[in-house]
Homo-oligomer: A and B are copies of this chain.
Amino acid sequence: MEINGVEIEDTFAEGFPIKVARVLITAITEHWALVAAREATGFGTSVIGCSAEAGIESIVGGDETPDGRPGVNIQICNMGYKNLESSLLYRLGQCVLTAPTAAAFSGMSQAEKQFDTGKKLGFFGDGYQKQLEMFGRKVWKIPLMSGDFIIEENFGAVDGIAGGNFLILAQNQAAGLMAAEAAVDAIGRVKGCITPFPGGVVASGSKVGSRYKFLKASTNTAFCTSLREDGV
């Protein structure tokens, strides 16, 4: 297959079942919604060594958010629902509740699986938290030094797929990286997708297993430029 002069080997891609929660973070400006979203999705490239896989899905205007403010949809992913609930609690509690002017709403209200993360974070209000109906949603209002933090009571989660990677073979490293950046731009337009690695790119594709008993994955030797005789 060839698109725009690029040869594409239309083969398979790895994929794993994963549990996904979408959270909509709003704030006084798009800038501050992004600040909260970046913090909440950081250190979230792979569940091999991070507590979750997380990334920004999309930026939305006030016409697409419950409170009419600019928003950022993020996804938080874990292999099981138990870890996902923990991720929601800690990532929203540490990175969104603490972010100036931020609020957090569920991006999956219709999901069967629901976590009462908002209610649990409400305890930070030390008894002054209040359950309210706002914007047609059940939310908790938690008094903070900077104002009130509004968070939806329940956050939904669904089955998703992690993986779906593809390899870029390029004439040199810089061209490969530029191609990757262009790909990340394009993927950023696909609804429901995140690219959790740094800048959306994985520099260190791996293979299953290694020569060390304690290591379940290691560098993809067959594709390492400096290990190949042909050097590409």
Chain A residues proximal to chain B, CB less than 8 Å: 4, 28-32, 35-36, 38-46, 48-51, 54, 61-63, 68-70, 89-91, 93-102, 123-128, 142-149, 167, 170-182, 185-186, 188-189, 197-199, 201-207, 210-212, 214-215, 218-221, 223-227
Contact = CB atoms under 8 A, between A and B. Distances in A.
A146 B203 contact: yes
Contact of A147 (B99, B171, B173, B218): B173
B174 A28 contact: yes
Q: Which of A145, A182, A189, A206 has the largest count of B CB atoms less than 10 A from its CB? A: A145
Contacts of A102: 198, 203
B173 A172 contact: no
Q: Which of A41, A45, A126, A215 has the largest count of B CB atoms less than 10 A from its CB? A: A126
Contact of A145 (B4, B89, B224): B224
Given A4-B68, A149-B203, A29 B100 contact: no
